[in-house]
A and B are shown apart, each in its own frame.
Chain A
Amino acid sequence: MLVALAAIPILIAIAVRLSSSVPPGRGPAFLDRITQNGLFVGVTGVLVSIPLFLPLTVGVVAGDTVAGEAGLGTLRYLLVAPAGRVKLLLVKYAGAVVFCVVAPLVVALTGAAIGAALFPVGRVTLLSGDTIAPAEAVMRLILIAAYIAVSLLGLSAIGLFMSTLTDVPVGAMAATVVLSVVSQVLDALPQLEWLHPWLFSHYWLGFSELLRQPIGWDTFASNAWLQAGYVAVFGALAYSRFVTKDILS
């Protein structure tokens, strides 16, 4: 799955390299900047993958945590060991968190690498019009990956809960991915404005704050609080469900 994610920025870079110049203002933001500065491939890659590809892979990983073991019939053998259900749940969630951290990093850094290989690299122009050195730009890319990692924690907690509900891993995966799409659709409806700050996908595109000068940390903080809330609620639900569940497989 990480390879599939890494393919996204590579595809973008090759497509832009082979095509003629992209007119500014068309396509996803930053796409027109790639020919000037290869490091923008990383940003564009993250931007393109955040609505679907990253939630999809996180949904697959998180949905598989418990239901996957149940589906394979190995869950009861895991619980025979004196580790306890809480510990198993924590370890499973930790695995999903590691994926949340690694996946956006892979997209951003692969993008930066392929961009550096195919396009010139120079001082990076931020949204504010200021320019920063390439080394600092890579720092910002890592910050963006960290922001996305935090953003995906809530979704992975939802996936963990879904995974405790069923013995069919595909069901848990699908439910998680569908929820992420539903959340984004709700976020796009202006009639539901009161609901928007509570949707776990609301700050997903907020990483643009990290491309301003000075960095707007407010979004980072509100995003972290929101995701912490989702992790707490769905973590508690997953705990309750898992420790009361009758393990039959």
Chain B
Amino acid sequence: MNRRWLRWMPAVVVPAVIAAGIAAGSLPASAVDPLPAKSPAQVLALVAGHKVHALSGTLEQASNLGLPEVPQTGPSASAPTSWLELLSGPHTARVYKDGPAKMRIQILDKMAERDLVRNGRELWWYSSKDQSTVHVTLPNLVATPAGEEPPEDSVDPGFPDSSTVPTPAELTEKLLAKLDPSTDVSVGTDVQVAGRSAYNLVLTPRSQQTLVGSVSIAVDGENGLPLSFQVAARGQAEPAFALAYSSLTLGAPDPSLFDFTPPPGTAVKEVQPPPRPLGAHPGLDGHTGGSDVGRPQVTGSGWETVVGFRVGGDALAAEGLLTREPLLQQAMVAVPGGTVMSTSLLNVLLTDDGRIFVGAVPVEMLQAAATPR
């Protein structure tokens, strides 16, 4: 009998060994050296001064906005929902980057893929589901003429490339000073992202009214590359939005990745880029088309900002988009004076008299902004 029980030993030992191995593997690697302590300004300067221009990695995105989940299959997964679909539910994308002018993002879907390829002035968008290709020839950029590689020491694109510009350290000091009245910027405990030690920069709104709980950015301790981005909503344990590298390799990827030729049999749509140079910021003032219609009405400040539009022109189109979307209709709730689309980070109020109010604030504040004074 004893021998019989001995024979059953492997059936017990093997699962136990596997379970132990998994448990050991999932324990946090505590032996990692802690990063030298840095102030928020120093971490920001590290980000601004980072020189990582060539990398390949995998990005994982997860959102918990409280929107209904888009069905992964079925006829309702139509084209207009695709922008929404990117916001809700998890996604995985592979990112390849070599210098500012060469980039490829592959959004990995089930049995399908969407690709964004940029090589110099050529910009391609390919979707394998309907085999469609969109091609844009970008205008010459001011900062990097003809898509040339910038010199080694140039800062991130987005900062004007000139010697009169203050150093990243000065810039971050200025930025912090500007943020300070509304936001508490701190460096949390170090985190591990994609197997790399990173500083955790946490921005917490000082306002108690906003829906945003905190914004945390993980910054690679070695080279200052932002590794993850997380927005936490108030009163929700899971982050409302999270984007993080799950794996990252520094160094130039295979150059053939950036050579994209549309596959045979696809319809290539040529799109003219907007005449506005890409460097200019298409901010809210883009709506000032002379008339009052569509000019945003801004109330509140900092995190409590509420932006209101009078419907007409672009805003009408926006409202049409919001109300026609079957998925969004599910999320619409009628309130006194209009309907509200509520997510855990952002509320949108469509008033009955045709105005739209958007803000990261509770619905009551939107209603207060909508009532004329």
- Give the residues in chain A near B130, CB-CB below 8 Å: 24-25
Mask of A195-229 contacts with B, CB within 8 angstroms, 1/0? 00000000001001100111010100000000001
* A243 contacts across to B, CB distance below 8 A: 7
Q: How far is the CB of A150 from chain B (nearest CB, A)?
A: 18
Which residues of B1-26 have CB atoms within 8 Å of chain A's CB atoms? 4, 7-11, 13-15, 18
**How many angstroms from the CA of A125 to the CA of B124 in the assembled complex?**
16
Which residues of chain A in 134-169 are interfacial with respect to chain B, using CB atoms and an 8 Å cutoff?
none
Residues on B with C-beta less than 8 A from A107 are: none
> Residues 172-213 of chain A: 1 if any B CB is under 8 Å from the residue's CB, otherwise 0?
000000000000000000100000000000000100110011
CB of A122 within 8 Å of the partner chain: yes
Q: Which of B104-112, B209-217, B295-303 contacts A (4 or more CB under 8 A)?
A: B104-112
In the complex, what distance in Å separates the CA atom of A123 from the CA atom of B264? 9
A236 contacts B115, C-beta separation under 8 Å = no
Q: Are A47 and B111 in contact (CB under 8 A)?
A: yes
From known contacts A214-B254, A233-B18, A236-B13, infer whether A127 and B128 are also in contact, taking CB-CB under 8 Å.
yes
In the complex, which residues of chain A have a beta carbon less than 8 angstroms from the beta carbon of B11?
236-237, 239-241
Task: State the Cβ distance, B307 to closest chain A Cβ, in Å.
Answer: 34
A29 CB within 8 Å of chain B: yes
Measured between C-beta atoms, what is the minimum distance from A202 to chain B in Å? 13
Range class of the B interface residue count: 35 or more
Is A131 on the interface with B (CB-CB < 8 A)? yes
Q: Is the CB of B111 within 8 A of A205?
A: yes
Q: Which of B10, B112, B247, B265 contacts A29 (CB 8 A)?
A: B112
A212 CB contact (under 8 Å) in B4, B108, B124 = B108
Asked whether any CB of chain A lies closer than 8 Å to the CB of B262, the reply is yes
Does any Cβ of B come within 8 Å of A244's Cβ? Answer: yes
Q: Could you say which residues of chain A place their CB within 8 Å of the CB of B126?
A: 128-129
A232 within 8 A of B: yes
The yes or no answer to B113 lying at the interface (CB within 8 A) is yes
Query: What are the residues of chain B within 8 A of A240 when measuring CB–CB?
Result: 7-11
In this assembly, does A36 line the interface, its C-beta being within 8 Å of a C-beta of chain B? yes
Is there an interface contact between B18 and A131, defined as CB atoms closer than 8 Å? no
CA distance A180 to B334 in the complex (A): 46
> In the docked arrangement, what's the CA distance between A104 and B113, Å?
24
Chain A nearest CB: distance from B90 CB in Å?
9
| Distance to closest chain B CB from A73 (angstroms) | 24
Residues of B within 8 A of A30 (CB): 111
Residues of B within 8 A of A122 (CB): 264
Considering the chains assembled together, what is the distance between the CA atoms of A243 and B3 in angstroms?
11
> Is A233 touching B15 in the complex (CB atoms < 8 A)?
yes
Q: Is B129 an interface residue (CB 8 A)?
A: yes
Which residues from chain A contact B260 at a C-beta distance below 8 Å? 129-130
User: A22 to chain B: closest CB distance in Å?
Assistant: 12
Measured between C-beta atoms, what is the minimum distance from A182 to chain B in Å?
19
Q: Which residues of B contact A232 (CB under 8 A)?
A: 14, 18
Which residues 93-151 in B have Cβ within 8 Å of A in the complex?
Answer: 94, 106, 108, 110-113, 115, 117, 124, 126, 128-131, 133
Q: Which residue of B lies closest to A242 (CB)?
A: B7
Say whether B69 faces chain A, with CB atoms less than 8 Å apart.
yes
Query: Are B113 and A212 neighbours in the complex by a CB distance under 8 Å?
Result: yes
Please state if B113 and A127 are interface contacts (CB–CB under 8 Å).
Answer: yes
Contact A233:B14 (CB < 8 A) given known A25-B130, A240-B8, A243-B7:
yes
- Chain B residues with CB under 8 Å of A236's CB are 10-11, 13-15
For the complex, give the distance between the alpha carbons of A240 and B266 in Å. 57
Which residues of B (248-280) have their CB < 8 Å from a CB of A?
A: 254, 257, 260-266
Measured CB to CB, the nearest residue on chain A to B18 is A229
Given known contacts A237-B11, A244-B8, A129 and B257 CB-to-CB distance under 8 angstroms: no
Please report which residues of chain A, range 83-135, place their CB below 8 angstroms from some CB of chain B when the two chains form the complex: 122-123, 125, 127-131
Of all chain A residues, the one with the shortest Cβ separation from B69 is: A190
Bound Cα distance from A131 to B18, whole angstroms: 41
**Contact status B4-A244, CB under 8 Å:** yes
B172 vs chain A, min Cβ distance (A): 36
Which chain B residues lie closer than 8 Å to A128 at the CB level?
Answer: 106, 113, 115, 126, 128
- Min CB gap B346→A, angstroms: 24
A205 nearest CB across to chain B (Å) = 7
Please, which residues of chain A bring their CB within 8 A of the CB of B8? 240, 244
Q: A205, B263: Cβ atoms under 8 Å?
A: no
List chain B residues, Cβ under 8 A from A237. Answer: 11
Q: How far is the CB of A206 from chain B (nearest CB, A)?
A: 10
Q: Do residues B257 and A214 form an inter-chain contact, with CB atoms below 8 A?
A: yes
Q: Which residue of A lies closest to B8 (CB)?
A: A240
Chain A residues, Cβ within 8 Å of B7: 240, 243-244
Q: How far is the CA of A35 from the CA of B113 in the complex (A)?
A: 20
Question: For residue B89, which residue of chain A has the nearest CB?
Answer: A190
Contact residues in A for B247 (Cβ distance below 8 Å): 218
In the complex, residue of chain B having the shortest beta-carbon distance to the beta carbon of A37:
B265
Chain A proximity of B58: nearest CB distance (Å): 8
Residue of A nearest to B58 (CB): A218
On B, residues with C-beta under 8 Å from A are 4, 7-11, 13-15, 18, 58, 69, 94, 106, 108, 110-113, 115, 117, 124, 126, 128-131, 133, 247, 254, 257, 260-266
6 pairs across A/B with beta carbons < 8 Å?
A24-B129, A29-B112, A125-B128, A208-B110, A214-B254, A239-B11
List 4 other contacts, CB 8 Å, given A123-B263, A125-B131, A205-B110: A128-B115, A205-B111, A212-B108, A232-B18
A-B pairs, top 7 by smallest CB distance, nearest first, are: A125-B263, A129-B126, A29-B111, A236-B14, A240-B11, A127-B113, A236-B10
